[in-house]
Structure 1
Amino acid sequence: MIKQKVNHGLLIAALLGIVLNVSAQTGVKQGKTQRPNVIYICADDLGYGDLSCYGATKIQTPNLDKLASSGVRFTDAHATSATCTPSRYAFMTGEYPWRKSGTGILPGDAALIIPTDKTTLPNLFKQAGYKTGIVGKWHLGLGKTIAKDWNNEIKPGPVEVGFEYSFIFPATADRVPTVFLDGYNVVALDPKDPIEVNYLAKVGDDPTGKDHPELLKMKSSPGQGHNQTIVNGIGRIGYMSGGHMARWVDEEVSTTFLAKAQSFIESNQKQPFFLYFALTEPHVPRMPATMFRGKSGLGLRGDAILQLDWTIGELMKQLKALNIDKNTMIVFTSDNGPVLDDGYEDGAVTMINGHLPAGPLRGGKYSALEGGTRVPFILNWPAQVKPNVSSALVSQMDLLASFSKLINQPIPSGEAGDSENLLNAFLGRSQKGRSVFVEQGGPLSIIKDGWKYISPANGAAYNKLVGIETGNSTDLQLYNLNEDMGEKHNLASKYPEKTKELAELLKAVQTNK
């Protein structure tokens, strides 16, 4: 009897060991101290073909290559939209942006468009006990109205949607006001030099690019609006007066954001944190720091990509030095596809040297074609994720539902309705992603099981202003992306039933709220 009891005890211990071992290998640790830190990094206008780990040969991005080779690199990951504001709205809310009016590209003085009373990406983590922060570009509006006092607290904004720490600039680098906001307040504002911003009429007596082109250190392309108030020798969109001491210098923006991100990480290294690090590269105006100038051979856009890659490397070094790299998940992506000529003459076009920013894809920023929304997407989490290349169809919008599963923080019914739980796909444990996805790039497109249908649309097939195919056509368009990711062969006439099926499915998704 004694011998039998000993055997039972050994059997129980062995079984317990097996269960724990399986859980450690196939599950996600749930203890509070073992939940991963999450850093969500979003580049600005970076294309599918802009990184060497995605096939670029004219430029090398060793730090992102390292991140990709030790994590999951996705080949069919998407922003919801081919421009910045709507794609950011989508991953913040888990909702297609075309369901809500006012989610197009916002001016720099726009009101907040993210709801403050619903689940968002940051407040999901905040409710789960994470420390949450944002550093970088915002471009989702601030305050309750367009008219706002930039000389006092500006809210609601990132804090009201779930970020406990916020260090941002309001919109884009080519739009006024060109200032940093630390929390609710403009950094380094002199009360004796108050800020005024207007997108309809000139304010103050600062020179404009239109009237004083001789003051510009970077010429602007005609027709895109970068000829209004001059800041740091660069014409911007919109008019601004005052705040001269508070105006940032373009060449220092990237390193300022890096320093703030690193400070947030260091301050919160002993507890789970979520950081949204919104990079500005390679969005215009491209003014990288001096140490990157001329290094790429592709003009200032290429130099800005080198600066971006260096920034990622510095972040990775910090995580390792703090000994939190193993249990920190880094998600790296871009808000939409690439554009070369987006308003400034900076060598991006004349010094392209055979580089293909969208890789094998047609289109780019502003386009309904794949180059508009298919973007680089890398997920790295050494403690749980094995190196892999995934062809699963995923969207940044799906991070909300997937993180909900990861940190066991439920989303109330009726919220984030377009976000799908694709946690297994994101962690590289499954090649099964979305079966249906809608892309916004002018006309809406829909993808199902590798087939893509683009809605008929009027408008030019080629945007001469930026040099990008739009995807606009009054003809029906159908592509088999599994065999033709470059969308070279329109199969609508060959497969009319498939075309009709997808057209009807798109209408059904649009009406399903």
Structure 2
Amino acid sequence: MAARIGSAAGEAGESMNGVLGRFSNWRIRSLKACATFFYALSLLPSAFSARPNIVFIMADDLGYGDLGCYGNERVQTPHIDALAQNGIRFTDFHSSGPMCTPTRAATLTGCYQQRFGEKFDGAISGVRDYHSGLPHDAVTIAEILKETGYVTGCFGKWHLGYTPPFFPTTQGFDVFYGLGSGDGDFFSHVDRSGRLDWWRNEEKVVEEGYTTALLTKRSIEFIEANRDRPFFLYLPHLAIHFPWQGPQDPPHREVGVSYHDDKWGVIPDRSNVSPHVNAMIEAMDQSVGEIVTALDRHGLQENTLIAFTSDNGGYLRYYGGFENISSNGPLKGQKGQMYEGGHRVPTIVSWPNRNQADVTSELAHSTDWFPTFAKLTGVSIDDMSLDGLDLSPLLFRGQALPDRDLHWRMRGNYAVRSGPWKLAQQNGIRELFNLRNDLGETNDLSDRHPEKLTALQEAWEKWNAEMNRSAAKYE
């Protein structure tokens, strides 16, 4: 049966053998021919037996302090706050990169994005990388779920390939609706190069409406059309990425005009962008509320896990005099940086009557989504080489996660985290912090703990060498 989105049909693009033929040798030795179609019941409530639906919502550039449940008092986010109140809210969850593309690659593959080549250190370019994207032999969670009976849909910002040969429909998604690039006008759907960037599967479409609302509408249609079979809904919102346009702001871009030097939208007061951004956040919160209502209307809430996260931290300021944009709460730095404000992100997992409401300080990461979703859907990944951890023991048993180091790298800047210790190099300045005592990264301890600095530097260099070896086939 083809996946359905309203009246539009999306066909499964490849057979199981086709997908197996694209698995790269360094990532997977073999995939078991018959996946387990049931849960490992030891990890889940004993009364539960059906394969769950997964709704995975990723905000764009949403800062650690941008939501009410993370302490923001200037914006109203009741629907996202309700997810947090009834689910598990993470205080130490990290995006794999401090920028859009890297985190998306790591999230969907369960592997550090650097394994796919240096271009994935940062956002892929609509000029330099227009005819490339995520390698076709990269295995995504959508492919794994699709081949074991799930219908898969991507509704939103892809940013892992600008053209159809690299669209979600080539990476395991039955249907795609949204934009391929890194940003687009929220009304005209024109990218910064002046191209219409609004797609249904692999065809451009002209459609009026506010981006957040359109993505929500199509996502709900997908839920309704596939309510009788397990589904994986990936909703990577464009909000709150620039252009900073709330639902009441004017359109800005038109086809045929370049906006590389004027990509922000119509901002009368550059010293205070927050009114526009707050309106975008509240529109996204409304989207979450509508998704939850749709699940409830069709009796799907108790069999649906909802995960909400961000692809990186928020912008506090931007060149050109833009100030007071987003909030990273108590964290230092912003999007694009190795400080916590660049990659510690708001994250919530909610599954009514399946996990108990809690706030966890366990260290988690973008690469963890793949193994977690695989475990929850009964898919065997024993023979896959992933960088992430399965979060199920934490989500359903409250168990601590294994200790591990986390690493970041982007355009000459890098960081490594080991327990409370963090080494960060930003703009040629290398610093050592103890986040347990100094979450705001204000006190450089390099001189007081040179042995720790050396150990972390060596750990990062070892990791970096491994990434470069993996990436060699793509360079």
3-state SS of 1:275 partner: strand
1:158 matched residue in structure 2: 168
Matches within 5 A, 1:339-350: 339-342=315-318, 349=323
1:468 matched residue in structure 2: none
- Amino acid across the alignment from 2:167: G
Alignment of 1:365 onto 2:335? yes
Alignment of 1:312 onto 2:312? no
1:129 matched residue in structure 2: 149
Question: Aligned-pair distance for 1:87?
Answer: 1.0
Pick from 119, 123, 130 the counterpart of residue 102 of structure 1: 119
| Higher mean displacement: 121-130 or 326-335 | 121-130
Matches within 5 A, 1:299-448: 299-342=275-318, 349=323, 352=324, 357-411=327-381, 413=383, 415=385, 417-427=386-396, 429-432=398-401, 434-442=403-411, 443-448=413-418
2:73 matched residue in structure 1: 57
3-state SS of 1:155 partner: helix
2:34 matched residue in structure 1: none
Question: Aligned-pair distance for 1:500?
Answer: 0.8
CA distance in 2, matches of 1:378, 1:344: 33
Question: Aligned-pair distance for 1:267?
Answer: 0.6
Tell me if structure 1 keeps the 8 A contact 2:141–2:374.
no
Question: Aligned-pair distance for 1:179?
Answer: 2.7
CA distance in 1, matches of 2:47, 2:123: 39
Alignment of 1:77 onto 2:93? yes
Mark the CA change 1:374 to 1:326 in structure 2 (over 3 Å): closer, same or farther: same
Partner deviation per Cα, 1:98-134 (whole Å, 9 max, x = no partner): 2322223123362342233342121121122111000
3-state SS of 1:102 partner: helix
Alignment of 1:477 onto 2:436? no
Gap runs ≥5 in structure 1: 1-21, 144-153, 188-245, 456-470
CA distance in 1, matches of 2:248, 2:397: 38
2:82 matched residue in structure 1: 66
1:509 matched residue in structure 2: 463
- Amino acid across the alignment from 2:131: A
Alignment of 1:117 onto 2:137? yes
Q: What is the number of equivalent residue pairs in this alignment?
A: 396
CA distance in 1, matches of 2:126, 2:395: 33
Mark the CA change 1:44 to 1:492 in structure 2 (over 3 Å): closer, same or farther: same
Mark the CA change 1:162 to 1:29 in structure 2 (over 3 Å): closer, same or farther: farther
Alignment of 1:86 onto 2:102? yes
Question: Aligned-pair distance for 1:36?
Answer: 1.1
1:487 matched residue in structure 2: 441
CA distance in 1, matches of 2:46, 2:174: 26
Alignment of 1:263 onto 2:221? yes
3-state SS of 1:326 partner: helix
- Amino acid across the alignment from 2:313: G
TM-score norm. by structure 1 comes to 0.72
Question: Aligned-pair distance for 1:24?
Answer: 8.2
| Higher mean displacement: 296-305 or 165-174 | 296-305
Mark the CA change 1:340 to 1:165 in structure 2 (over 3 Å): closer, same or farther: same
CA distance in 2, matches of 1:114, 1:412: 23
- Amino acid across the alignment from 1:127: E
CA distance in 2, matches of 1:428, 1:49: 28
Mark the CA change 1:356 to 1:340 in structure 2 (over 3 Å): closer, same or farther: closer
- Amino acid across the alignment from 1:308: M
Partner deviation per Cα, 1:293-337 (whole Å, 9 max, x = no partner): 99x993211111111111111111111111111111110000011
CA distance in 1, matches of 2:226, 2:199: 21
Question: Aligned-pair distance for 1:140?
Answer: 0.7
CA distance in 2, matches of 1:502, 1:24: 36
3-state SS of 2:369 partner: helix
Tell me if structure 1 keeps the 8 A contact 2:177–2:201.
yes
CA distance in 1, matches of 2:43, 2:171: 35
Partner deviation per Cα, 1:397-430 (whole Å, 9 max, x = no partner): 1111222222222237454x32222322244622
Tell me if structure 2 keeps the 8 A contact 1:394–1:434.
no
Question: Aligned-pair distance for 1:45?
Answer: 0.4
1:40 matched residue in structure 2: 56
CA distance in 2, matches of 1:158, 1:401: 20
After superposition, the CA RMSD in angstroms is 2.7
Partner deviation per Cα, 1:65-116 (whole Å, 9 max, x = no partner): 1010000000000111111011111111222122322223123362342233
Alignment of 1:170 onto 2:180? yes
Question: Aligned-pair distance for 1:291?
Answer: 9.5
- Amino acid across the alignment from 1:84: C
3-state SS of 1:290 partner: coil
3-state SS of 1:302 partner: helix
CA distance in 2, matches of 1:165, 1:290: 30
Tell me if structure 2 keeps the 8 A contact 1:53–1:65.
yes
1:454 matched residue in structure 2: 424
Partner deviation per Cα, 1:38-66 (whole Å, 9 max, x = no partner): 01100010000000100112222111110
Gap runs ≥5 in structure 2: 1-39, 185-190, 251-266, 471-475
3-state SS of 1:477 partner: strand
CA distance in 1, matches of 2:273, 2:458: 47
Tell me if structure 1 keeps the 8 A contact 2:85–2:357.
yes
Question: Aligned-pair distance for 1:288?
Answer: 2.0
Percent of residue pairs bearing the same amino acid type: 31
Question: Aligned-pair distance for 1:30?
Answer: 7.4
Matches within 5 A, 1:196-275: 246=206, 252-275=210-233
Tell me if structure 2 keeps the 8 A contact 1:288–1:300.
yes
